[in-house]
Amino acid sequence: MKILTLTLVCVATAAFAKPAKPAEDFLSFPVPNGPFLLPAMTGTFEDATVADLIESYSEATGQYCIMDEETRSYAHSYKISSAKSKELSIPPDQLQVTFEHILASHGFVLDLLSTAEPRLIGIQSLNSSRRARVKAGAKFITESQIEEAAKHPAMYFNTVIHLPGVNTRQVTNALRAMFPDPMAASILPAGELPSVVLTASGPHLRELQALLREIRAEKQRADEAAASAQDKLPSDAGGTDEEGD
């Protein structure tokens, strides 16, 4: 009997102590070994708040989540869902994106403060007095990383999109309406350079990138059409001259 007990203890040690898959950069997050269940401690899912979710996520992934007092009180006051189901079960590989979707839908932003162990995650409410610091924590990504960043709806990024030949001041003025909260997201022209600087959440950046690519393609088509029309002009003009002579 003692040996069986010892065996169970040892098996449990091996099962629970196994670390989650290590993450390498600010776009990679640990993946837990099993399905993520919420709530673990609050009884039923309909009672679970964003604070419960954050606590369970922190335990499941081995990361430390930190919040200022104002953000914490918001996290305790928002219920995740009014659904009557007993629990929320999330597959391990979907945990990060689901967690961030729930955070973002309740107005919380995630800022990865440390990629090395111990991994630290700052969580900030967009309703709090420190909301302006959201842009301070935005990480730079290249245009090619936007697709990966789109899987992080609660994270904010800076990126630069090149728009050769496009009047970037006009474009940024026209698109400013797509940034209803300038404290959290923005679009800026890079001076006289044919580039714009975007600060926004991952999915928002992807939408903006698609739009700007369309503008870039439209400009290219217009330039090609103008060049083609220009090519025709000299021969027409030449013919007229000959006729005149």
Tell whether the torsion through CA atoms of 35, 67, 131 and 196 is positive or negative: negative
- Residue (of 242, 241, 223) closest to 231 by Cα position: 223
Q: Which residues pair with 92 in a beta bridge?
A: none
C-alpha span between 177 and 122 (Å, rounded): 29
C-alpha span between 119 and 122 (Å, rounded): 10
Q: Which of residues 125-144 bind another protein (CB under 8 A)?
A: 132-133, 135-136, 138-140, 142
Q: Which of 8, 226 has the CB closer to another protein?
A: 8
In the shown chain, the binding pattern of residues 218 to 237 toward another protein, with x for contact by CB under 8 A and - for none, equals --------------------
Using CB under 8 A, which of the segments 57-65, 173-181, 212-220, 222-230 binds another protein?
57-65
Residue with tokens 């700007």: 212
Is residue 58 at the binding interface for another protein, with CB under 8 A as the rule? yes
Element (DSSP H or E) covering residue 195: strand 195-201
Is residue 30 at the binding interface for another protein, with CB under 8 A as the rule? no
- Residue (of 170, 179, 165, 158) closest to 217 by Cα position: 165
Q: Which of residues 172-191 bind another protein (CB under 8 A)?
A: 186, 188-191
Q: Which of 140, 224 has the CB closer to another protein?
A: 140
**Residues near another protein, by CB under 8 A:** 3-4, 6-7, 9-11, 13-19, 54-55, 58-59, 64-69, 71-72, 111, 113-114, 116-118, 120, 122, 132-133, 135-136, 138-140, 142, 158-160, 186, 188-193, 195, 197, 199
